[in-house]
């Protein structure tokens, strides 16, 4: 499947703060965007830490969901507001540093989009979580 | 499978603030605890809302994860610190009010515990999300 | 959510052999059907056994998928051919006998239906697997 | 994470018929094996077709499960018999030809292994399904 972007990284970045109000707190930042692929960086701060210094599950869920949402947005545009219908996440190892989320489009249909998301530690590229997510794309009105 | 509690609701409730530091912000509150079943209430506040007034995905993920964690805790005790290895969540409808999460133990093995979690609107019991989660239970040392 | 049947157990049963050609080999049999709930029985035979006498994963997947498919069929009718988009299954214990699959509708929307499926041993009601599945419902033409 | 093979493709191939008795019917065939990665080919035949000529869900589940099982086997050896605990599969498009399943190890721990599996059409590399699976690895006795 070949994919075509309809927004560039700056347009997507501008849109982030709008849709993910918490993204500013989280410091989510789009570092790469190309057809079918996005990378979103999350610098770790106190708000998403658990005792022991690991990043909380909800924070990683939020990062995976955000990256997947943005890669879909970049391919379908703002007209349609995609809604998460399913997210399956595997936690693989304890993260102890800034994270990078890499989301790839597996499918972009008229009604459903499916993404594969890997979350890495930025410092050594160790994989800490992996998710797949499905989004419902409402009909254009 | 029959299940046996090793902690009561108060002991679990005391433990919540310890392990889920964000639970106080979220106002998580254990309303019911019986063998194999727990209910956790989450009053909705500004911090977990999205534009349009719906509860954010990460907030619901956190509520599901918390309820599952607590039902396992109540059955294995504090000795072992269960770790989420997999969580699969389906978002079914838009929540617009206080939420109740009901977690049931499907399996409690020596190494893995599996839970089924339903998230309802408190006011009309409408199902807004459903999850299943797997936790790894470390060996007792 | 309240659900309303548009087909009865016999109509569904007749339709099974048509859509699931392997269902005759498998001996799938609808034992109960009520709004939002179906039970499908699978007598175990040589074709779905693994060495050691346990039922194979694909056989349990097929049973879960079939029960979910049929409960949706019974509520939307034959006009629309639902397609499995996601199935998440947890294997909980080794099955060693005839199985019963119980599928409940969690959501029946215009475009997506979501089911929760429990697979039990018939003889002692032990839970051997649990699944959730999402189906896409094509627009009526 | 770096991975190290303990069996070569031939040893794995020999073992397939033993553990997956149905693999001979299915014609599963290991085409590639390297650290962390395996490819398994499944020529489509009558036994896994649905009306309309598409490959059945259980057949694709079986192919995903088999590829994941074999990549773990190739890295841990025959001593331990890995057991599927969770499999999440997304069906992306209708397959109409021979399939190739590519499984990658995401994690190989002492107790759990997690794999990512992509199923492609052999003729044009179109992605038809994607799965993630978790296996429990029993302690060596």
- Could you tell me how many residues make up chain C? 141
The confidence score (pLDDT) of residue A73 equals: 92
A37-42/A99-108 β-pairing: antiparallel
What's the topology of domain C9-136?
Thiol Ester Dehydrase; Chain A (3.10.129)
Chain D contact set for A127 (CB, 8 A): 1, 106-107
Instruction: Express as a percent the part of chain D with pLDDT over 90.
Output: 60
Which phi and psi (to 5°) does residue C4 adopt?
A: -130, 130
Instruction: Express as a percent the part of chain C with pLDDT over 90.
Output: 60
* pLDDT tens per residue, range A16-33: 777 666 666 667 889 999
For residues B69 and B78, the answer to whether their CB atoms sit within 8 Å is no
Rounded to whole angstroms, the Cα distance separating D129 from D120 reads 7
pLDDT at A49 over 80: no
For residues D3 and D108, the answer to whether their CB atoms sit within 8 Å is yes
Bigger pLDDT: A27 or B113?
B113
Chain A contact set for D2 (CB, 8 A): none
pTM score, two decimals?
A: 0.94
CA distance B83 to chain A (A): 9
Instruction: Express as a percent the part of chain B with pLDDT over 90.
Output: 60
Taking CA–CA distances from B111, the nearest residue in chain D reads D111
Place of tokens 């997210």: A87
A136 touches chain C (CB under 8 A): yes
Rounded to whole angstroms, the Cα distance separating C38 from C21 reads 19
C34 touches chain A (CB under 8 A): no
Mean pLDDT of all residues in C12-41:
82
pLDDT at D138 over 90: no
Q: Do D86 and C91 touch (CB under 8 A)?
A: yes
The confidence score (pLDDT) of residue D44 equals: 82
Chain A contact set for C112 (CB, 8 A): 85, 136
By Cβ distance, the residue of A1, A92, A106 closest to D106 is A92
Burial of A51: CB neighbours in 10 Å, binned 0-12, 13-18, 19+: exposed
List the helix and strand counts (H, then E) for chain B: 3, 6
**Chain-wide mean pLDDT for chain B?**
88
pLDDT at B44 over 60: yes
Q: Do D85 and B111 touch (CB under 8 A)?
A: no
Bigger pLDDT: C34 or B53?
C34
Mean pLDDT of all residues in B22-33:
78
Mean pLDDT of all residues in D109-115:
95
- Best CA proximity match to C138, nearest among C67, C77, C54, C61: C77
The confidence score (pLDDT) of residue D16 equals: 73
The confidence score (pLDDT) of residue A52 equals: 63
Taking CA–CA distances from D90, the nearest residue in chain A reads A114
For residues C40 and C100, the answer to whether their CB atoms sit within 8 Å is yes
pLDDT-derived band of residue B52, with 50, 70 and 90 as boundaries? low
Q: ipTM of this predicted complex?
A: 0.92
Rounded to whole angstroms, the Cα distance separating D134 from A90 reads 9
Mean pLDDT of all residues in D80-105:
93
The confidence score (pLDDT) of residue B127 equals: 97
């Amino acid at each position: 499947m070949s994919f075509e972007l309809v927004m560039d990284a700056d347009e997507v970045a501008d849109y982030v703060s709008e849709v993910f109000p918490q993204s500013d707190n989280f410091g989510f930042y789009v570092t790469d965007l190309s057809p079918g692929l996005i990378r979103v960086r999350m610098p770790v701060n106190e708000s998403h830490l658990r005792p022991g210094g690991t990043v909380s599950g909800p924070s990683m869920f939020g990062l995976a969901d955000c990256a997947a949402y943005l890669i879909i947005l970049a391919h379908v545009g703002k007209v349609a507001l995609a809604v998460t219908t399913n997210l399956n996440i595997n936690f693989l190892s304890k993260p102890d540093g800034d994270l990078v989320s890499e989301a790839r489009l597996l499918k972009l249909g008229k009604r459903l989009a499916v993404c594969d998301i890997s979350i890495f530690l930025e410092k050594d590229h160790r994989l800490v979580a992996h998710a797949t997510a499905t989004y419902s794309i409402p009909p254009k009105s």
